[in-house]
Amino acid sequence: MVKRTSFEGDSCPIARSLEAIGDWWSLLIIREALFGVRRFGEFQGKLGMAKNILATRLRALVDLGILKVAPASDGSAYSEYVLTPKGHGVFPVLVALRQWSEEFDDHPEEIATILVDRDKGRPVKKLELHAEDGRVLTAVDTTLKARPRRSRSAG
Amino acid sequence: MVKRTSFEGDSCPIARSLEAIGDWWSLLIIREALFGVRRFGEFQGKLGMAKNILATRLRALVDLGILKVAPASDGSAYSEYVLTPKGHGVFPVLVALRQWSEEFDDHPEEIATILVDRDKGRPVKKLELHAEDGRVLTAVDTTLKARPRRSRSAG
DNA sequence: CTCCGTTGGTTGCATAATGAAACTGGATTG
DNA sequence: CAATCCAGTTTCATTATGCAACCAACGGAG
């Protein structure tokens, strides 16, 4: 099999996520969708991508339950693509990517935008990972454990 | 140009991140590196990827300043790949991907591991985005602003 | 309803990236 | 200095990407 290796059956949740949204365009499509982009032509124009690629990606994202097709919205008989809750759930991933770029990019001056609190217009804080007791955790403060198997009798 | 479109000059920081780590393998390599994997063969064995792809990716990650080559470590004259601070900075991205999978995957029972606080062994909390004043922000609570141009006279 | 431009795609083909396996070369062992 | 392992590189088939051209459905003018 020379197919692009699939992580579909992989037990690592990161690999599973990448299987769904780990390609060049999907995350950018979701980013646009989070900003309210809904129409095929709008995605195509903003992202500057080929229409066939866009069509393929949109279909895949719909199949994955990240986007859903809305029959209409502004009168025209064309359909639109709107985020599902699963799609909205990608937001932290995008924020993490953005903040990584802001912190480590070699040419941060080329970054045109900052993410701000809509109410106050002030920059957001860095994403933080907390322990149950509230401590902030870095990578070395964490480790992996086998997922506790939910017994078949438990509710 | 039929080249895979590059986001190198893009002003969107998300695109810029994807340019660096938005491919199938890079994030998995970084994930392994965060767990202490350092040797070529170790990466290759754990990830089950072709050696040529691994070699290409490792070189790219080194060029990007995400990994660096350490001349030795355990006596053997081979080199190792260790994360730079920039590489460690990817951790939140991986956590975000993991949590997205945990929350929205269609088959969460196939996920083998959970991320826990090393001290307590308890699961970590969800990543949270906070405003400056501490409020938790969701996607709709945020918006983008033009990055304030740092004037050439200001320190 | 027909002409014609726009929106929303699909199809074709060239090129680049991916991947399995074979190959290379240095280091270690004996 | 032969056998073997580690760390890659090369080769070649397959797949994905991307541009361009094509096509179908819609919408307005007449």
* pLDDT attached to residue B150: 63
Q: Side-chain half-sphere of A48: how many Cα atoms within 13 Å?
A: 6
Mean pLDDT of A58-86: 87
Q: At what angle do helices A26-34 and A51-63 cross, to 10 degrees?
A: 80
Residue type, B51: K
pLDDT, one tens digit per residue, over B33-57 is 999 999 999 999 999 999 999 999 9
* pLDDT attached to residue B148: 82
Chain B residue with CA closest to A9: the answer is B110
Cβ neighbours of residue B66 under 8 Å, at least 6 residues apart?
A: B20, B21, B26, B30, B83, B84, B86, B87, B90
pLDDT, one tens digit per residue, over A14-47 is 999 998 898 889 999 999 999 999 999 999 999 9
In sign, the C-alpha dihedral spanning A122, A128, A134, A140 is: negative
Cβ neighbours of residue B16 under 8 Å, at least 6 residues apart?
A: A101, A105, A110, A111, B7, B8, B10
* pLDDT attached to residue B23: 84
In this model, does residue A99 exceed pLDDT 50?
yes
* pLDDT attached to residue A19: 87
> Rounded to an integer, what distance in angstroms lies between the CA atom of residue B84 and that of residue B26?
14
Mapping DSSP to helix (H, G, I), strand (E, B) and coil, where does residue B65 land?
A: coil
Structure tokens at A14: 């990161």
* pLDDT attached to residue A2: 53
In sign, the C-alpha dihedral spanning A47, B29, A100, B86 is: negative
* pLDDT attached to residue B155: 42
Vertex B128, ends B126 and B132: CA angle to 5°?
Answer: 165
* pLDDT attached to residue B50: 92
Distance B107 CA to D6 C1' (A): 38
Vertex A85, ends A84 and A88: CA angle to 5°?
Answer: 90
H-helix segments, A64-115: 85-88, 91-104
CATH number for the domain whose boundaries are A13-84: 1.10.10.10
CATH number for the domain whose boundaries are B13-88: 1.10.10.10
CB A119 within 8 A of CB B84: no
Sites in chain B below the pLDDT cut of 70: 1-4, 9, 73-75, 150-155
Domain range list for chain B: 13-88, 91-141
> Rounded to an integer, what distance in angstroms lies between the CA atom of residue B87 and that of residue A141?
16
In this model, does residue A101 exceed pLDDT 50?
yes
Nearest protein residue, CA measured to C1' of C18: A4
Distance A40 CA to C15 C1' (A): 26
Alpha carbon A39 to its chain's center: 18
Mean pLDDT of chain A: 88
* pLDDT attached to residue B154: 44
CB count, 10 Å around CB of A58? 20
Nearest protein residue, CA measured to C1' of D13: A2
Cβ neighbours of residue B93 under 8 Å, at least 6 residues apart?
A: A93, A96, A97, A100, B17, B21, B27
Instruction: Indicate yes or no: CB of A133 within 8 angstroms of CB of B147.
Output: no
Chain A residue with CA closest to B23: the answer is A23
